[in-house]
A and B are shown apart, each in its own frame.
Chain A
Amino acid sequence: AQTVTQSQPEMSVQEAETVTLSCTYDTSESDYYLFWYKQPPSRQMILVIRQEAYKQQNATENRFSVNFQKAAKSFSLKISDSQLGDAAMYFCAATTSGTYKYIFGTGTRLKVLA
């Protein structure tokens, strides 16, 4: 069975600074995908970034990048130049080809301080 663990219930970052959110996962599958989703207060979840397990290169989307360590089963999210609008719950999720159902972590609440 797949598991996803987020060990940081809450993180804070100063505006314009960089923050890293941690995620570890466990799976016996070889073909899987990893995601970070953002859930602002009272708003729907939106995709931040995705990583295919077969790709060695770390995914990057503007100010968001991941550090994908396959052997360590680690998938952290780095947010550069943090903005007030980045404040939200961030969920790490994993899925495998075939079912594509997501297994989510418990989330990390990110606070951005002005």
Chain B
Amino acid sequence: DTGVSQDPRHKITKRGQNVTFRCDPISEHNRLYWYRQTLGQGPEFLTYFQNEAQLEKSRLLSDRFSAERPKGSFSTLEIQRTEQGDSAMYLCASSLANDEQYFGPGTRLTVT
């Protein structure tokens, strides 16, 4: 068990570019979550998957955001046409059904 991993750890991009982040959950965990954390705030829920099915999306997740979890393993979060307001830490977490969530180290996105 190597924990939840995220790649890249840091991403700097120019406004208008597309970015994609990857999350690898703990292998036996069937649930995977994405959160966004801005400076001085607690994480905010974006979306979650049970196996490969995306079961809930937050209203924070605009049309420019899309997430996938093919085959119920790793997940990707893509942001199209990035805006400066997208600058944040993007956290991934995984869990078994009603167990606590284990968080990855996050991907820090800076949009210039």
- List the interface of chain A (C-beta within 8 A of B): 4, 6, 33, 35, 37, 43-47, 50, 91, 93, 97, 99-107
Number of A-B residue pairs with CB-CB distance less than 8 Å in the complex they form:
53
Complex: A6 Cα to B41 Cα, angstroms = 11
Q: Is the CB of B31 within 8 A of A100?
A: yes
Interface check B2, CB cutoff 8 A? no
Q: Mark B14-35, 1 if CB is under 8 A from A, else 0.
A: 0000000000000000010101
Q: Name 12 extra pairs, CB < 8 A, besides A44-B106, A101-B48.
A: A33-B98, A44-B4, A46-B103, A47-B101, A91-B42, A93-B42, A99-B56, A102-B45, A102-B101, A104-B42, A106-B40, A106-B42
- List the interface of chain B (C-beta within 8 A of A): 4, 31, 33, 35, 40-45, 48, 55-56, 91, 93, 95, 97-98, 100-106
Looking at the complex, which one of A33, A45, A106 makes contact with B41 (CB distance below 8 Å)?
Answer: A106
Looking at the complex, which one of A44, A93, A106 makes contact with B105 (CB distance below 8 Å)?
Answer: A44
